[in-house]
Amino acid sequence: MSDFVGISNLPNQRYKIVSKTGSTFTLMVAGESGLGKTTFINTLFQTSLKSHVDHKARHQKGIRSTVEIDIVRAELEEKDFKIRLNIIDTPGFGDNVNNRRAFQPLIDFIDDQHDSYMKQEQQPTRSEIKDLRVHACLYFIRPTGHSLKPLDIEVMKKLSTRVNLVPIISKADTLSPREINEFKQRIRAVIEAQEIKIYSPPIEIDDEASAEHSKILIESIPFAIIGSETKVQNPEGEMVLGREYPWGIAEVENEQHSDFLKLRSLLLRTNMLDLILSTEELHYETYRALKLDASNGNKDDSRSKLTKRFNNNPQFKEEEDQLKKVFTDQVKAEEGRFRKWEQNIINERQRMNLDLESVQHQIKQLEEQIKDLNIKKGYK
Ligand SMILES: Nc1nc2c(ncn2[C@@H]2O[C@H](COP(=O)(O)OP(=O)(O)O)[C@@H](O)[C@H]2O)c(=O)[nH]1
Ligand SMILES: [Mg+2]
């Protein structure tokens, strides 16, 4: 779908902005374990990415369950346009009680990247900034068909204030189309009620095609996707990425079966620039402002603590009273000096006004004399 609105078709100016920002795009997956996060990354690689050296190495190591935060790097090529892609694969969380806080490293990772970027920006010489700020975080929701769990809500809230959050229903092949629709509606209702700020593609009013595309994307949120690393034969006899069932196959890139293509379009084509810019302008700036606020806030805090200590000590109290007296006296003296100065100015103004009056009087007299002289001349 919508191959016509890719990165390489961006107007020149925006194209330049992407180049200037270093053309790095960082994507993170998050959610409970076993929801298909790693599979999704591999699916994305198989459908879109050309060179993925790290990815191959990872496969050779035979890693299956993700145990720590793992960065997969790749290069995305579209026509003559290259983008460095970082995908942050994260271990799942929430499978048992002890694991409830296991999402904290994800939050820390996002914050740390903002922090590291901020520190590098403050350096007088910035050779090459290492930038792993997360531009989009895909949050995987278990396909229960019911609703969001309290843990989902808790984590999504934390993520949404830091990063462009994109909710995903994983394993869409395990639900019927009707179930998916109802599930989506319920999730959207909870997101709204809980005021979780998810990423929403902007609608450009002066570009009908892209506005229409954005509307389709928005209506599909949360994206219900299917991931697969293997190819199966579809009814048309083509080998496609999908999952095989006794009743037939579920295709990754079939719009009737999954929102995978819509999600891929949002991430790697139509909304990549907006995700990069909003990370810079909204999430990074928010982080920076919070940091600055925090350091100012701390200063105020220590000052008020000091005054409190000062007031409670009788010896300090005496000193304080004395200081106050000296201060009041000084103010009074200053005030007196000011009044005197003010009076001087008023006197000076009066004197000048008088001078002015007498000068004006002289002018009048001279004018009279000229008149008289002219009259006499006229008589002659
Ligand atoms: N039915 C179905 N199974 C999936 C899908 N994606 C992944 N899986 C399976 O779910 C299991 C866990 O996947 P994995 O990617 O390791 O999940 P992670 O823990 O979130 O990284 C594996 O057996 C996958 O084959 C999907 O879209 N549909
Ligand atoms: Mg994994």
134 φ, ψ (degrees, to nearest 5): -80, 120
What rounded mean pLDDT belongs to the chain? 82
End-to-end Cα spacing for the chain: 106
CA 297 to each of CA 135, 162, 286, 293, 294: distance values in angstroms, whole numbers, following the listed order: 29, 21, 16, 6, 5
| Ligand 1 contacts CB of residue 34 (under 6 A) | yes
Residues β-bridged to residue 125: none
In this predicted structure, what is the pLDDT of residue 101?
A: 72
Neighbours of 157 (CB within 10 A): 14
Query: Ligand 2 centre and the CA of 271: distance in Å?
Result: 25
Looking up tokens 């299917």 gives 226
| Ligand 1 contacts CB of residue 173 (under 6 A) | yes
Residues β-bridged to residue 89: 70
In this predicted structure, what is the pLDDT of residue 242?
A: 95
In this predicted structure, what is the pLDDT of residue 269?
A: 84
In this predicted structure, what is the pLDDT of residue 209?
A: 86
Q: Which two tokens stand for residue 99?
A: 């694991």
In this predicted structure, what is the pLDDT of residue 325?
A: 77
- Tell me the pLDDT tens digit for each residue of 212-231: 999 999 999 999 999 999 99
Measuring from atom 7 of ligand 1, which residue has the nearest CA? 36
Query: Ligand 1 centre and the CA of 53: distance in Å?
Result: 22
How are beta strands 81-89 and 136-141 bridged, if at all? unpaired
Q: Give the ligand with the smallest distance to the CA of 260.
A: 1
pLDDT beneath 70: ranges in the chain: 1-22, 49-67, 77-81, 94-100, 126, 297-317, 379-380
Looking up tokens 């496969």 gives 59
Query: Ligand 2 centre and the CA of 103: distance in Å?
Result: 14
CB under 8 Å to 102, separation ≥6 — which residues?
A: 91, 92, 93, 94
Looking up tokens 């050296």 gives 53
Instruction: In whole angstroms, give the CA distance from residue 297 to residue 310.
Output: 20
| Ligand 1 contacts CB of residue 175 (under 6 A) | no
Q: Which two tokens stand for residue 291?
A: 């940091």
- 3-state secondary structure string, the chain? CCHHHCHHHCCHHHHHHHHHCCCEEEEEEEECCCCCHHHHHHHHHHHHCCECHHHHHHHHHCCCCCCCCEEEEEEEEECCEEEEEEEEECCCCCCCHHHHHHHHHHHHHHHHHHHHHHHHHHCCCCCCCCCCCCCEEEEEECCCCCCCCHHHHHHHHHHHCCCCEEEEECCHHHCCHHHHHHHHHHHHHHHHHCCCCCCCCCCCCCCHHHHHHHHHHHHHCCEECCCCCCEEECCCCCEEEEEEECCEEEECCCCCCCCHHHHHHHHHHHCHHHHHHHHHHHHHHHHHHHHHHHHHHHHHHHHHHHHHHHHHCHHHHHHHHHHHHHHHHHHHHHHHHHHHHHHHHHHHHHHHHHHHHHHHHHHHHHHHHHHHHHHHHHHC
Starting at the edge strand found earlier in the chain, the sheet holding 248-251 runs 231-233, 239-245, 248-251
Query: Ligand 2 centre and the CA of 29: distance in Å?
Result: 9
| CA proximity to 159, closest of 283, 288, 293 | 283
| Ligand 1 contacts CB of residue 38 (under 6 A) | yes
Q: Which two tokens stand for residue 15?
A: 């194209």
| CA proximity to 26, closest of 79, 89, 91 | 89
In this predicted structure, what is the pLDDT of residue 49?
A: 66
- Tell me the pLDDT tens digit for each residue of 176-198: 999 999 999 999 999 999 999 99
222 prior amide bond cis, ω within 30: yes
In this predicted structure, what is the pLDDT of residue 160?
A: 95
CB under 8 Å to 255, separation ≥6 — which residues?
A: 1, 261, 262
| Ligand 1 contacts CB of residue 9 (under 6 A) | no
- Model confidence, pTM: 0.73
Query: Ligand 2 centre and the CA of 96: distance in Å?
Result: 16
Instruction: Answer whether 320's CB lies under 8 Å from 309's CB.
Output: no
C-alpha angle 48/263/134, rounded to 5°?
85
